Amino acid sequence: MALNYVIKYAATNVYENLVGEALWQFLIAPLNSGSQQIISSEFRNSLQIPVEKSINGYGFETFRIHPKKSFTSIDFEAEFHLIKDHINPFEKTNASNLEDEFSQLNSLNFKVEHATFLKSTALTKLPKWHEIDFIYSEEVSIFENMKNLNLWIFDGFSFKTDVTDVDTDLDIILEEKQGVCQDFTHLFCAIARSHNIPARYVSGYLHQGNGYFGDSQMHAWAEVFIPGCGWIGFDPTNNLIAAENHIKVAHGKDYSDCPPIKGIVYTSGTNQTTYSVEVNAQQNAQQ
């Protein structure tokens, strides 16, 4: 069963003083691959500046806007239509031999292959001094371990906005036991990587239909690479396995590789940014 999605992204930036020059890069377009098929993609702004399409450093599609006249306020609006296939992550995970699975993780070839998503970054660095009581076991499959990790974070940490920001270290998250989806995803990646399991940070949209945490903003979850299965998404914020409700935009080592918006703005004074996301789904009638 596939779903038809309509995703609306809107943002408004207001500046106290005139902006002489600015450049924004948006990483918000859903990925057009795998289980996602983009039907249409539109991006507008209130200053009618032509939108350029480009890529970020990891090859994900971006929109760029480069106003040539000065302004004090600008609105952005994007609308994406896509079809998302129904996914059953459990299908892929009928893991074969446990010993094989774990021994692969320790092979040099595997470590080289996935080096990018095995190294720790500033945002996914586990503080040495902090005890982590998550129990990792080679008695069960990697998939089971990751499900347990998902639950461990979901149970042990509470969702709370405005207590952390995009570059909060894991020390603080582990200490305060609260945060938002970025923080939980960073923690998830960090712990997975510490067990030699490649893990990447995913930025995307969550279909809010069923009252999950996501707060009508862009969402984040993790993908881990399980030998024999490939990349599987885990959403520790909601204790879910990413499936048809998770619409992926991009991935990276951590948040800093894929923030939805990057801007270089030359102005003085304060500014205010507001943005909202709306995700609507319909059963695809044709299938």
Among 14, 18, 140, 264, binds other proteins (CB under 8 A): 264
50: DSSP letter: P
- Whole-number minimum distance, CB 271 to other proteins, in Å? 15
- Could you write out the three-class secondary structure of 106-175? CCHHHHHHCHHHCCCCHHHCCCCCCCCCCCCCCCCCHHHHHHHHHHHHHHHCEECCCCCCCCCCHHHHHH
How many angstroms separate the CA atoms of 32 and 239, rounded? 25
What are the structure tokens assigned to 35, written together?
């289980």
Any contact of residue 211 with other proteins (CB under 8 A)? no
What are the structure tokens assigned to 144, written together?
């089971």
Q: Following DSSP, what letter does each residue of 53-93 receive, concatenated?
A: EEE-TTS-EEEEE---S-EEEEEEEEEEEEEE----HHHHT
Any contact of residue 23 with other proteins (CB under 8 A)? yes
- Whole-number minimum distance, CB 132 to other proteins, in Å? 22
Any contact of residue 251 with other proteins (CB under 8 A)? no
Any contact of residue 25 with other proteins (CB under 8 A)? yes
Any contact of residue 195 with other proteins (CB under 8 A)? no
CA 208 to chain centre: 15
Residue 156 or 263 having the CB closest to other proteins? 263
Any contact of residue 158 with other proteins (CB under 8 A)? no
What are the structure tokens assigned to 274, written together?
């507001």
Any contact of residue 18 with other proteins (CB under 8 A)? no
User: Which of the residues 37 through 66 are near other proteins (CB under 8 A)?
Assistant: 52, 54-59, 62, 64, 66
Any contact of residue 166 with other proteins (CB under 8 A)? no
Output the furthest CA–CA distance in the chain (Å, rounded): 63
- Whole-number minimum distance, CB 50 to other proteins, in Å? 9
Any contact of residue 69 with other proteins (CB under 8 A)? no
How many angstroms separate the CA atoms of 212 and 238, rounded? 6
Among 48, 106, 109, 286, binds other proteins (CB under 8 A): 109
Residue 56 or 284 having the CB closest to other proteins? 56
Residue 112 or 285 having the CB closest to other proteins? 112
How many angstroms separate the CA atoms of 48 and 44, rounded? 7
* Residues in contact with other proteins by the rule CB under 8 A: 23, 25, 52, 54-59, 62, 64, 66, 108-109, 111-113, 115-116, 118-119, 253, 262, 264
